[in-house]
Amino acid sequence: MIIKKSNERKKRVEKRNLFFLIFNIFILMLLLLFFIYTKDNNTYHSEWYKTVSILSLSLLIYYIVYFYNYRLFYDFRFWFIILTYLFMYSKIYLRFFGIEDPFYRPFLDKYALDVLYTTGMIVVCYTQALFTGFTWIGKRTKKSKLYKLKENISDLRAKKLIYLTGSILIAISLPFRLIVDYNTIATTYLTGSYSNRAGMTGLYNDIAILFIPGIVYLISSNYKKRRFATILAITTLLYFVLIMIMSGDRRYYITGILAVVLSYLKAYNINLSIIKLIILGTASNIMLNLLAVLRVIRSRGLLSPLEFLKQFSNDLINSKGIIEAMSEFGYSFYSVVQVVRFIPEYIPHQLGIGIFGAIPTLLPIGFIIRDFLNKVSISRTINVLDGHTLGSTIVGNLYADFSWFFVIAAIIFGKIMYEATAIKTIDNDNLAYARQYSMLYVLVNSVRASFLEIFRPSVTVYLIPIMILLLISKRGKFNGSE
């Protein structure tokens, strides 16, 4: 009887998942048909920001309802969607709500209205395609054989195994993390400007990037008392904030902070009460203000930490953090505009080279294939043609490769990210969350980076921790019951 009820429940879940998949594809098809119908309409061109804002905000409500219904606010997918909105739509929303953005006008005047409208619809379709991949759950979620602990291992020993994995990751990566950070700060001070900073690449950075996964594994293990995890998390956050102030670099430090905070909240099942929400909101506002301040001073001469606090301490606690952050992050949309502006009119579609061309970066042969990698990074060529260096994004990467067929690639990309971070694919919850938040640390950067930039770090963070975990587990004391 129990087995029969279990099978019936599985069938209901499978039907529900299939319905969501079909429904999300249907929404995506409607968006594509809407663009085909309106792409030559000058009215939609002139008010492109209104159309894009209404469509994207409507979808955002749908996404939030979905995540709320399944209680997924700590989930990787929720934060990826939120950050995608922050990076892609922020400046559009400022325009839509009539909020002054002094950094918006030059880009508004630079590009044709039809290009802006097309780009806006590309981003909207990308967001929906990504969400479709995120919620594409098959009939049966396969358990990861790679991330499987011994079946007869006790819960306490599993926690110790995860804790030791984190300890080894930190022991290996901490010296390289310090070297990379010191080099970034030293370069900044040498040039006297945040805007001229340069970071280390190659082996040093590959190892240094394992530092946050190490912290996440320690916290997620739940092996030590909560006080230990609290001190560890706060120390890491303060260190990363200090490095951001002194170097002007932000990308991996911000995602590192996000990964640490989420892993801590989830590890101890912290319910966000009103008081905790106020504290978290205040801290978030200060962090957003810090990012806004960094944007301002990156264009000026370098300041010492003391001068930084003297000149900008008041700015760190003002109430304009959200608007400033929206103004700061919204430039990512215009990196997609660049792609649409020059592809395919001046440069043909890349037919997958931006995706598959990143695979050789797994090997330390960058100095041999440097010219090839320059071709893989289409944003470098476009930045030269356009005269503005706005970086790259996955959505621009996919459109440059596949034209409007990018929506299929985006669905697959979302599905791959879901499988790489899914909790239910691992039997042990502590290990599952350690993997998810470690992967969040690097994958979230694809919102503001190309596939070429995130492929090697993603593979490193996915494989190295589990290789260490498996090596430890082969030791006799971790096999068998207590």
Per-residue three-class SS string for 73-84:
CCCHHHHHHHHH
Nearest to 251 by CA among 398, 77, 446: 446
In whole angstroms, give the CA distance from residue 451 to residue 438.
18
In whole angstroms, give the CA distance from residue 9 to residue 16.
11
Q: How far is CA 281 from CA 241, 268, 312, 465, in A?
A: 17, 19, 20, 32
Q: What is the pTM of this model?
A: 0.87
DSSP 147: T
In whole angstroms, give the CA distance from residue 291 to residue 307.
17
Contact (Cβ atoms closer than 8 angstroms) between residue 134 and residue 414: yes
Residue type for position 323: I
Q: Which two tokens stand for residue 324?
A: 């400033």
Segments making up each domain of the chain, as ranges:
155-327
In whole angstroms, give the CA distance from residue 256 to residue 173.
14
Q: How many CB atoms lie within 10 A of CB 113?
A: 15
3 state SS of 193: strand
Buried/exposed code over 468-479 (b: 16+ C-beta within 10 A; e: otherwise): bbeebbeeeebe
pLDDT at 482: 44
**Ramachandran angles phi, psi of 99, nearest 5°:** -90, 130
3 state SS of 231: helix
* DSSP bridge partners of 301: 193
Tokens 């096999």 -> residue: 479
By CB neighbour count within 10 A (0-12 exposed, 13-18 middle, 19+ buried), where does 274 fall? exposed
Contact (Cβ atoms closer than 8 angstroms) between residue 232 and residue 215: yes
Spatial neighbors of 230 by CB under 8 A, at least 6 apart, are: 264
Spatial neighbors of 363 by CB under 8 A, at least 6 apart, are: none
What is the SS3 assignment for 404-456? HHHHHHHHHHHHHHHHHHCHHHCCCHHHHHHHHHHHHHHHHHHHHCCHHHHHH
By CB neighbour count within 10 A (0-12 exposed, 13-18 middle, 19+ buried), where does 63 fall? buried
| Torsion, CA 282, CA 286, CA 289, CA 294, rounded to 10 | -160
DSSP string, 293-340: HHHHHTTSB---HHHHHHHHTTGGGSS-HHHHHHHHHTTHHHHHHHHH
In whole angstroms, give the CA distance from residue 143 to residue 374.
38
Q: Which two tokens stand for residue 113?
A: 């209205």
**Ramachandran angles phi, psi of 350, nearest 5°:** -85, -10
Contact (Cβ atoms closer than 8 angstroms) between residue 229 and residue 292: no
Q: Which two tokens stand for residue 2?
A: 């129990």
Contact (Cβ atoms closer than 8 angstroms) between residue 32 and residue 38: no
Nearest to 135 by CA among 414, 408, 395, 409: 414
In whole angstroms, give the CA distance from residue 62 to residue 58.
7
Q: Which two tokens stand for residue 175?
A: 């010296």
DSSP 9: H
DSSP string, 27-72: HHHHHHHHHHHHTT-HHHHHTHHHHHHHHHHHHHHHHHHHHHHTT-
pLDDT at 481: 43
Q: Which two tokens stand for residue 480?
A: 């068998």
Spatial neighbors of 36 by CB under 8 A, at least 6 apart, are: none
The verdict on whether omega for the bond into residue 344 sits within 30 degrees of 0, i.e. cis, is: yes
* DSSP bridge partners of 193: 301
Tokens 């030559």 -> residue: 40
Per-residue pLDDT of the chain (482 residues; tens, 9 = 90+): 556 556 677 777 788 888 999 999 999 999 999 999 999 999 999 999 999 999 999 999 999 999 989 888 889 999 999 989 988 998 899 889 887 665 555 666 788 999 999 999 999 999 999 999 999 986 655 566 556 665 556 778 889 999 999 999 999 999 999 999 888 888 776 765 545 544 545 788 889 999 999 999 999 999 999 999 999 999 999 999 888 877 767 778 889 999 999 999 999 988 765 566 566 666 766 666 666 666 555 555 555 555 555 555 555 555 555 666 666 677 789 889 999 999 888 888 888 888 888 888 787 665 566 666 666 777 778 877 777 777 788 999 999 999 999 999 999 999 999 999 988 778 788 999 999 999 999 999 888 888 888 999 999 999 999 999 988 887 755 544 44
